[in-house]
Amino acid sequence: MSAFHTAFEAALAGDTEALLPHLVVDDRTRAAIGVYRNTALKARIDALEASFPTVVQLVGADWFRAAALAFAQEHPGDDPVMVTYGASFPDWLATFEPAQDLPYLAPCARLDRAWTEAHVAADAAVMTPAEAGALGAALTGLSVGLHPSVRLFRFDWTVPSLWLAHRYPEAAPGPLVWEPRAEALMIHRTAGHVRARLINPAEFAFLEACQKGRPLGIAADQAARLDRTQSIPTLFASLIAADVFLTSEPEARA
């Protein structure tokens, strides 16, 4: 970053005198910087509002924009791509004093952020049912990665149900109850669309093991230990159909 850009950033933060080596700091300059600062702040607030729609629904637009303004003033960001702005917003929200009586707010913000990350994640070739069938028994010793868009979550409270009810109301899992009940969620992108659904403990264990690089046989064993009634072949087939696993074919990954 050039000396002027550094000085201009300081001026946007309120230190207009930092521009003195580069510009004459008079009332006209201060007014222009004020306009630019307000425009930049509005762009950041608008970006946050677009990236965290569930949080907006939970608290209302006025509350959210006031919080977003406070965040944007503390975290101006240095990436011109606004869709990526706000990565630290969920953690910041967890410490934001007016949100302390809303324990579900920061977790829902994390899920909103994960949705954005899944949306912009890189494309990658995925394992197909035909490929899995051709590998047969060799699958058990194979370590298969997850698609770059996959995000896994497990909460001690019903955060996933609350988030799904607002983000995907047509697929809401049932009556909305905020209670201390463990739930797991998978967010991922397939066919150009970001999907999200509750996953059971066996699915979570299977996917988490794959994410850690464990062979599929180990992942299957960990899932089966959690739920002896779970059909592992059915579980694996459903995840393949969801385009969750990366292909094992080197030429397809290249």
Rounded Cα distance, 215 and 59, in Å: 43
* Surface-to-core class of residue 123, CB atoms within 10 Å of its CB (0-12 exposed, 13-18 middle, 19+ buried): exposed
Tokens representing 159 are: 């955060």
Q: Which helix (H) or strand (E) holds 133?
A: helix 129-135
The per-residue pLDDT for 4 is: 46
The per-residue pLDDT for 249 is: 79
The SS3 call for residue 218 is helix
pTM (2 d.p.): 0.85
The per-residue pLDDT for 38 is: 59
| pLDDT values of the chain reduced to their tens digit, one per residue, 254 residues | 455 445 445 555 555 555 456 554 555 555 555 544 556 788 899 999 999 999 999 999 999 999 999 999 888 876 656 678 899 999 999 999 999 999 999 999 999 999 999 999 999 999 999 999 999 999 999 999 999 999 999 999 999 999 999 999 887 666 778 899 999 999 999 999 999 999 999 999 999 999 999 999 999 999 999 999 999 999 999 999 999 999 987 665 55
Q: Are strands 183-190 and 193-199 parallel, antiparallel or unpaired?
A: antiparallel
Please report, as a single letter, which amino acid is at residue 17. E
Rounded Cα distance, 207 and 152, in Å: 8
The per-residue pLDDT for 7 is: 47
Query: For 143, which DSSP code?
Result: B
Rounded Cα distance, 89 and 113, in Å: 9
The SS3 call for residue 196 is strand
Picking from 156, 154, 144, 243, the residue whose alpha carbon sits closest to that of residue 203 is 154
